[in-house]
Structure formats: C-alpha cells, structure tokens
Chain A
Amino acid sequence: MTKHSLRDFRENFMKSLFLIGGIGTLLILLLIFAFLFAESFNFFKTYDFWDFLTGTEWKPGASPEMFGLLPLLAGTAAVTVGAIIPAVPVGILSAVYISELAGPKTADILKFAVELSAGIPSVVLGFFGMIHLVPRIQSVFDLTTGQTALTGSIILAIMALPTIISVSEDAISSVPAALKQGSFALGSNHWQTIYKVILPAAVSGISAAVILGIGRAVGETMAVMMVTGNMAIIPGSDIFLSSVRTVTATIALEMGEVAKGTEHYYALFTIGAVLFVITIGINKIAEAVKRKHKQVT
C-alpha cells in the first residue's frame, strides 16, 4: 500500500512538474511582453505618443532629443523589400528545382546545403558583406560609401533564401502525387504540370514561406548593422543607394551605451516593442496562411 501511494505521489509530482514547465514557456512570453510594454509605457510618460509615431528624426544625442519612429521603419522597410524582390523568385524556383527536377541524391545534398546556409551566423554574413559587397557597390554606383540599403538587402536576401526555399519545398513536396499524375495523364508536360497544377496547389504554403522570409529579414540585426551605414534619415528617391538604419540596428547600436532609466533607454524598448508586434503579426499571418494550406492538401 505504501509502495502504491509512493508511486502515486511520484506520478502526481511529475505531472505537476511538467505542467509547470509548460506554463513556464507561456510565462516567459508574457514576461517579455510585460517588460517591453512596461518600459515603453515609461517612455510615453515623457514623450508624446504621436511625436514618436510620426516623428521623422531619430536624434538621441540632440537637445531636445528626438525619437521619431519613421526613419527607422523606413530603413527596415527598405532593406526588407529590397531583400524580398530577388529572394522570392530565386527561392521559389530553387524549391521547384529541389522537389521537381533534381534527382533524389542531388535533392538531398541541396536540402542539406540549404540547412547549412540557414546556420551561417549573421555576423559572418555581415563580415562577408563588408569586405566584398560594400566596396563593389561603392565603385559600381560611384558612391561616397558602399554601406547602403542595397548592400543590406543583398545580405538579407541571402539570409532569407534558406527559409523561403525550405518552407516552399515542403509545400511543393506535400502536393499529392495523384494531382501530378492526373495532370500528366491528360498529356500536360512537366512544366505545365508544375505551373498549372503543383504551384497553385502549393500556393498558400509558398506564401507562408515568403512571409516567414520577410519575418526573418525584419528581425535580422547584426548583418544589417554591419553593411547599411546606420544613418537615421528618411531616404528619398535614391532609397536603395543611401545609407539607412533599421529598427534592429538602432537597438543593437545604442543599447550598449545608453544609461539605464533615461528617456533614450525607454525609447529603445519602445521601438523593441514595435518590432516585436510587427514580427508577431508577420508570424500570425504566416501561420494562418499555412493552416489554409493544410486544409487544401
């Protein structure tokens, strides 16, 4: 009887431990929320909400200090859009190659290569960009500095590629073989089958891939910081060839030097909160799109 109750006790103990562990994850997320928003709240005690949201200048050192979100958002948007334009077609086509054209062995090797490139530390990519891209862009476009939004976009495109390729590849591979065979049986050739049957069937999975790629680009810090020049100005028509500063880079650059508890400190948490909300939004959209894909297949 005592053995029985000991066993029961142990069972209940482990059960509660696991429950606590599960809830713990939830708690961490809530804590992150709480901290980011509590510190942002402190910021808006002294800084006007509209001034922050519509401000066109980010000048922490100036007097009065200016904390306008727009130039940073513009910087993030510029590098992200610039990254997505080449990364999406190249990524989707590569995924098509892996899942439709390559032999099983080549496909395995390519998949592993994609996995590897997803693992390249961003600081290494940033380093590569600094050495090889920055001077080339400077000389090709005849600029005073090669640290531009374009440079950041190229590096980010390289970083977003693995995400886009692997998620689209999953989506394409999960299209039922019966659909494909049906198309072949009607006399379509391979490309018609890919274009008219497979890609439409995988479209929501591929969209999810693109959205996740955008998420990766928006949240990237080190590589962007190393190649974009970090000038907090709203770029004009030459947007891709001017130096920009992203939200992430601002946090990473300034957080190390700022005194805790100052307005500037709270401002950095506020843009952190903005970034957090944006990435959550992006991930939610990707999830919803993916769920739709599951329903289709």
Chain B
Amino acid sequence: MNATESKNAFSYEDTLSFENAIGFENKYLYEQDPAFSPEMNRKKAIEVKDLNLWYGGNQALKKIYLDIPKNKIFSLIGPSGCGKSTFLRTMNRMNDMISNCRIEGKVCVDGENIYGKGIDVTGLRKRVGMVFQKANPFPMSIYENIAYGPKIHGVSKKEIPGIVEESLRCAALWDEVKDRLKEPALSLSGGQQQRLCIARTLAVKPEVILFDEPCSALDPISTGKIEELMAELKKDYTIVIVTHNMHQAARISDCAAFFLSGELIETGKTAQIFENPQDKRTEGYITGRFG
C-alpha cells in the first residue's frame, strides 16, 4: 500500500470507498499481529461513525470514523488544537457542558449510540471514565474522593470501604496512603494525586477510561508509574489516551490515531504509525517537522 492509495482511502469523499478503507485498515490492524485474534475485530469498545463537531460556527472535528478495540491502549496524537482532546471528550459526552457545542454522527459504546435518544448521560459517564490533564482531586479526604463516585451511584454504605481499598490497590496507591485515608487529598504529591484520580475513576467500575494528557504536569518518575499502571489496567479496561509526548505514545499504546486540524489522518497499530506512516503529514509530525 503506497502513500497515494492511503490518501485516497482517507479522503472521505465517498462513504462507500471509505468503509472499504476502514475494513482494510481493520484487517491490517487485527490480522497481521498475532496479538489481535480475528474475533478481536468484533470486540470493539467504541465505534465512531461520521462524527462532526462544531464550536459555534467553527468545525472542530470533521467526519471522524474510528474503531477502538477492547483491552488495548489507544493513543490519540497530533499537534495542539488538532481536535484530539475534543474527540476524547465526545466519548463520554463531556462536550455537553460547553454551551455552543454541536455534534452530529454516531459514537457507539458497546454497540449503543451514546448520542441516540433516551441515553442516560450519567450512566454513560459511569461506563466511560475520564482522567484529566491536571490532577483534580476534590478538596476532601483521600477516602472521600474515592467514595464519591460509588456514593452518587447509590452503592450501599457497607460496600464502599471495600471499593475504596480495591480501587486504591488497582491504582498502586494503597500502600502509600493506607495509613492516612482521612487526610486531605490535596496533601498528596502531584503524581499521587493523579493516581488518586485514576483510583477515583476505577471506583465507579468503568469499561473504558479516557486519559487526557495525564502526565503532562508530572515528573518523569511519576510519569513512569502512571504508564506502568496503564499497562496493568488494560487487562481489565479499554484505555484511550491523548498525549503530546510521542515517546509516551510509542512506549505504551497498542494502536494510535493521528489527528490534524480536526481530521483523522491516519490510524493503525502504533508500531506501524511510528515506523511506517502511510501519510506524509503523519510522517512529518512523527519526525518532528511540525507540531
């Protein structure tokens, strides 16, 4: 497959040819690597079809088609303002909170269109959790931070201490904080706060976790810990991560998608994107010519 073909395939001018292309891409993704069994193809955590998004009159996402496989780490890369964070936020409808934001198209989580009628948005956000760029623990104790989610989702009081411990253990934070659960969460270090936020997300038992540049404010050691944690988490969760850090994307993700000016330029296995990009623009970004 040469560059021209690929460019045609992602021109999106003709839906039919595009779907062929996606089929082709998926085939590539899931069949050439032994890690992806054929049934993986059916195990899509998230399916995005013809997604368009506007902020007022300004189109921020243009005709996005993308499948995100289960139990993998999927990274979204691209220069600032390319729409990758916006795209991430469409997957748990966080963009709903922006008043002039308009969305068209389909985002299916587990086969269900989350922009369909009668969707319970709070239920959706429980299934699709999110960790933000800046660690944002609530100004409460460590324990209360974790207990917050289960509480609002009506988990009985007896179960909560168990959930708190389990979540903190999963986030590899338990040993560091087990003796000071009643202390304010803001007394933790930056890296610990970010792991606390991950634990808080785990406590509501999501299927997918969205990470919005989770390490951009952290030092290398804390970043390493979070990356290790993500590798551990993908056994049970599907992870989508937006990152500015090319090395991080290459290190931790299984698949990647490159965004530019609101368009999805290229997607595929991380190794393929980084070692053998099909699109000139991807190559340009990866090799550091812009962005």
Measured CB to CB, the residues of A under 8 A from B are 3-4, 7
Q: From residue B118, how far is it (CB to closest CB) to chain A in Å?
A: 10
Bitwise, B108-149 to A at CB < 8 A (1) or not (0) is: 000000000000101100000000000000000000000000
> Are B123 and A4 within 8 A (Cβ)?
yes
Q: From residue A3, how far is it (CB to closest CB) to chain B in Å?
A: 6
- B56 contacts the other chain (CB 8 A): no
Instruction: Please name the residue on chain A nearest to B123 by beta carbon.
Output: A4
- B57 contacts the other chain (CB 8 A): no
- B154 contacts the other chain (CB 8 A): yes
How many angstroms from the CA of A4 to the CA of B154 in the assembled complex? 10
Of all A-B residue pairs in the complex, the 4 with the closest CB atoms, nearest first, are A4-B120, A3-B154, A4-B123, A7-B122
Measured CB to CB, the residues of B under 8 A from A are 120, 122-123, 154
Q: From residue A280, how far is it (CB to closest CB) to chain B in Å?
A: 30
Supply 4 A–B pairs (Cβ within 8 Å), ascending by A.
Answer: A3-B154, A4-B120, A4-B123, A7-B122
- Across-interface contacts of B154 in A (CB, < 8 A): 3
How many angstroms from the CA of A7 to the CA of B154 in the assembled complex? 10
- Across-interface contacts of A7 in B (CB, < 8 A): 122
How many angstroms from the CA of A3 to the CA of B154 in the assembled complex? 9
Q: From residue B171, how far is it (CB to closest CB) to chain A in Å?
A: 27
- Across-interface contacts of B120 in A (CB, < 8 A): 4
How many angstroms from the CA of A4 to the CA of B118 in the assembled complex? 11
Instruction: Please name the residue on chain B nearest to A5 by beta carbon.
Output: B120
How many angstroms from the CA of A7 to the CA of B152 in the assembled complex? 10
How many angstroms from the CA of A3 to the CA of B153 in the assembled complex? 9
Instruction: Please name the residue on chain B nearest to A8 by beta carbon.
Output: B120
- Across-interface contacts of B123 in A (CB, < 8 A): 4
How many angstroms from the CA of A7 to the CA of B120 in the assembled complex? 10
Instruction: Please name the residue on chain A nearest to B152 by beta carbon.
Output: A7
How many angstroms from the CA of A31 to the CA of B123 in the assembled complex? 43
How many angstroms from the CA of A7 to the CA of B122 in the assembled complex? 10
Q: From residue B191, how far is it (CB to closest CB) to chain A in Å?
A: 34
Instruction: Please name the residue on chain B nearest to A11 by beta carbon.
Output: B122
How many angstroms from the CA of A7 to the CA of B151 in the assembled complex? 13
- Across-interface contacts of A4 in B (CB, < 8 A): 120, 123
Q: From residue B127, how far is it (CB to closest CB) to chain A in Å?
A: 13
How many angstroms from the CA of A130 to the CA of B165 in the assembled complex? 69
Instruction: Please name the residue on chain A nearest to B154 by beta carbon.
Output: A3
How many angstroms from the CA of A228 to the CA of B39 in the assembled complex? 92
Instruction: Please name the residue on chain B nearest to A3 by beta carbon.
Output: B154
Instruction: Please name the residue on chain B nearest to A1 by beta carbon.
Output: B120
- Across-interface contacts of B122 in A (CB, < 8 A): 7
Q: From residue B176, how far is it (CB to closest CB) to chain A in Å?
A: 34
How many angstroms from the CA of A200 to the CA of B154 in the assembled complex? 59
Q: From residue A214, how far is it (CB to closest CB) to chain B in Å?
A: 38
Q: From residue B115, how far is it (CB to closest CB) to chain A in Å?
A: 18
Instruction: Please name the residue on chain B nearest to A4 by beta carbon.
Output: B120
- Across-interface contacts of A3 in B (CB, < 8 A): 154
Q: From residue A285, how far is it (CB to closest CB) to chain B in Å?
A: 31
Instruction: Please name the residue on chain A nearest to B122 by beta carbon.
Output: A7
Q: From residue B39, how far is it (CB to closest CB) to chain A in Å?
A: 32
How many angstroms from the CA of A3 to the CA of B120 in the assembled complex? 12
How many angstroms from the CA of A4 to the CA of B123 in the assembled complex? 9
How many angstroms from the CA of A22 to the CA of B127 in the assembled complex? 34
Instruction: Please name the residue on chain A nearest to B120 by beta carbon.
Output: A4
How many angstroms from the CA of A46 to the CA of B123 in the assembled complex? 66
Q: From residue B159, how far is it (CB to closest CB) to chain A in Å?
A: 16
Q: From residue B124, how far is it (CB to closest CB) to chain A in Å?
A: 12
How many angstroms from the CA of A4 to the CA of B124 in the assembled complex? 12
Q: From residue A1, how far is it (CB to closest CB) to chain B in Å?
A: 10
Q: From residue A13, how far is it (CB to closest CB) to chain B in Å?
A: 16
How many angstroms from the CA of A4 to the CA of B120 in the assembled complex? 8
How many angstroms from the CA of A107 to the CA of B40 in the assembled complex? 67
Q: From residue A215, how far is it (CB to closest CB) to chain B in Å?
A: 34
How many angstroms from the CA of A7 to the CA of B126 in the assembled complex? 14
Q: From residue A15, how far is it (CB to closest CB) to chain B in Å?
A: 14
How many angstroms from the CA of A4 to the CA of B126 in the assembled complex? 13
How many angstroms from the CA of A53 to the CA of B206 in the assembled complex? 72
Q: From residue B149, how far is it (CB to closest CB) to chain A in Å?
A: 14
Q: From residue A5, how far is it (CB to closest CB) to chain B in Å?
A: 10
How many angstroms from the CA of A7 to the CA of B125 in the assembled complex? 15
Q: From residue A6, how far is it (CB to closest CB) to chain B in Å?
A: 10
Q: From residue A12, how far is it (CB to closest CB) to chain B in Å?
A: 13
Q: From residue B40, how far is it (CB to closest CB) to chain A in Å?
A: 32
How many angstroms from the CA of A7 to the CA of B123 in the assembled complex? 11
